[in-house]
């Protein structure tokens, strides 16, 4: 895929503290970047944010993460993080993410979230309103094919 | 799998800074835990460490990470991180990891490393001596079946 | 001061992700090390931990931190972190910390905490029982002079 | 001081991973914020960046940090970080920083850097060209009084 295949792109700059002795971003930091970009994606959809979800007692919890490192990013790089909702299950939401630096595709990944009761961590159906908003958001941003 | 299926287990305690507003370890921190446990695994094998590798110009680089979150860990938890070399490719090493808290299995994951030239990040064969040491290390720690 | 001047010492190992491109621990990480050592100090005193404090609605909040960097620490270093309660105010507790690697004194610092109501962050007196325990703990560990 | 007293202000948003169980930014993260803002200050001056410094073998190393926590910041807050060069010594540079959220002054701090030889960490004079640039930069941004 390319940067253009994403419904949403968030750009951030690599911080000094995120780079290791090999001069490249420590691999664990990409899940933090994914999280930052996901927060901005969610804001763009207009859906209730994590604070509102928490008050309602139903939140998203990460269930699985995958990161593939194609090429390293370095200190001060400007990274474009593409986020796309790839699948809506009964109680799960799968997001696909990619990190690009200009024309270079550095990182691929995905995060699977489960919509669950905050106290007992029992999965609950994704609200119908969320489904509608996310589907519309992805359609509105879809590349014509 | 269970804690006993691992050739090596490293125990660490969850830090305050690693726990988020949901009261659970932020998902990105597990890759850091995996890295800490992998460092201790490698030390236990007696193979040249990352500093020695760096001086030789041939290092391990993460190529892919997977984390599955079965149950959350919390502040001050003592976590047992099992590490096992699951596959030795021509230039790649695949490690399987699990995190347990007592009898509870919280996290599963894997990290695929590539042995590569530090400057050009071109893959290079895993040295025969490493293969021998890793195979012997896993055998020595294997659960009898 | 020397390692021996501390009522309590916690030892930890520098993680790969904590070291920067200069090959030394990123300066911001020392406040995390201070926090980890403080948690272990507090555990050793037997006083109610942060979770119990939180349930009671009265917690410690950092009010000021100072870190002086005398010499850098590096990947895989074993660091001894000395913690000492240096001052008990009406609602504040001042802790002095030092980091040593063997005989080398690398870092000095202090953290000033305020005992405060969790919701409104208004300072509240340090409980008398805490005062007694902390004073006794420091005396019991004091170097004879 | 107020936001207006700073020659340079960098704005960033608090990340989910930076907030702790108390619902506030973990205290150690402010030194990371200071570092990010300092990097942007330095970029704005046009002086050689840390990569160029490293190649020249003369870099800035943190010698002392102070952080005062007046009020907490929370998830998703937009923080304005003011940076000002407050003192130029023979081989040291002292920076004063403040963090504001809108009209609220949350954090004060300072970082003292030493200009030093990268290999032996021996202090070296601040180059005359740096002095000129920093003095001019601060003057150009000074609030008229």
Q: Measured between CB atoms, which of C21, C29, C75 is closest to A19?
A: C21
Q: Which long-range contacts (CB under 8 A, 24 or more apart) does A37-44 make?
A: A37/A8, A37/A10, A37/A12, A37/A81, A37/A82, A37/A83, A37/A97, A38/A83, A38/A95, A38/A97, A38/A111, A39/D15, A39/D16, A39/D76, A40/A8, A40/A10, A40/A83, A41/A7, A41/A8, A41/A10, A41/A83, A41/A95, A44/A8, A44/A137
Chains with ≥3 Cβ pairs under 8 A against B? Answer: A, C, D
Report, as ranges of residue numbers, the positions in chain B whose pLDDT lies below 50: 144-145
Chain B touched by C140 (CB under 8 Å): no
Mutation for testing the A interface, residue in C21, C29, C32 having most A CBs under 10 Å: C21
User: Under an 8 A CB cutoff, do A35 and D15 touch?
Assistant: yes
pLDDT of residue A145: 41
Q: Write out pLDDT tens, residues A41-58.
A: 999 999 998 888 888 889
In this complex, is the C-beta atom of B17 within 8 Å of any C-beta atom belonging to chain C?
yes
Per-residue pLDDT of chain C (145 residues; tens, 9 = 90+): 676 789 899 999 999 999 999 899 999 999 999 999 999 999 999 999 888 888 888 999 999 999 999 999 999 999 999 999 999 999 999 999 999 999 999 999 999 999 999 888 899 999 999 999 999 999 987 654 4
Nearest beta carbon to residue B69 from set A26, A30, A63: A63
Q: In angstroms, rounded to a whole number, what is the distance separating the alpha carbons of residues C20 and C24? A: 6
Partner D contacted by B20 (CB < 8 A): yes
Q: Which residues of D touch A36 (CB under 8 A)?
A: 15-16
- Closest residue on chain D to A14 (Cα): D36
Separation in Å, CA of A77 to nearest CA in chain C: 14
Interchain pair B23, D26: CB under 8 A? no
CB contact under 8 A, C35 and D28: yes
- In this predicted structure, what is the pLDDT of residue C140? 85
pLDDT in tens, A62-71: 999 999 999 9
- Average pLDDT on D16-28 reads 95
B69 touches A at CB < 8 Å: yes
- pTM (whole model) above 0.90: yes
CB contact under 8 Å between C22 and D71, yes or no, is no
Residue from A74, C21, C27, C107 nearest D35 by CA: C27
CATH number of A3-141: 3.10.129.10
> What is the average pLDDT across D18-40?
97
- Assembly ipTM: 0.94
**The predicted structure's pLDDT at residue B1:** 63
- By C-alpha distance, the chain B residue nearest D25 is B17
Kindly tell me if the per-residue pLDDT of D75 is higher than 60.
Answer: yes
| CA angle, residues D39, D41, D42, in degrees to nearest 5 | 65
pLDDT digits (tens, 9 = 90+) for D98-143: 999 999 999 999 999 999 998 888 999 999 999 999 999 999 876 5
D31 touches chain C (CB under 8 A): yes
């Amino acid at each position: 895929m390319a940067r253009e295949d994403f419904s949403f792109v968030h750009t951030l700059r690599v911080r000094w503290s995120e780079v290791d002795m090999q001069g490249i971003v420590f691999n664990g930091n990409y899940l933090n970047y994914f999280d930052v970009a996901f927060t901005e994606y969610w804001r763009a959809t207009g859906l209730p944010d994590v604070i509102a979800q928490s008050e309602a007692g139903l939140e998203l919890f990460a269930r699985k993460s995958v990161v593939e490192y194609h090429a390293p990013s370095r200190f001060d790089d400007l990274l474009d993080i593409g986020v796309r909702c790839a699948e809506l299950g009964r109680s799960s939401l799968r997001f696909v993410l990619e990190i690009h630096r200009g024309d270079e595709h550095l990182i691929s990944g995905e995060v699977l979230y489960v919509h669950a009761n905050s106290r007992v961590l029992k999965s609950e159906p994704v609200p119908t309103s969320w489904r509608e908003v996310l589907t519309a958001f992805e359609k509105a941003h879809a590349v014509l094919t």
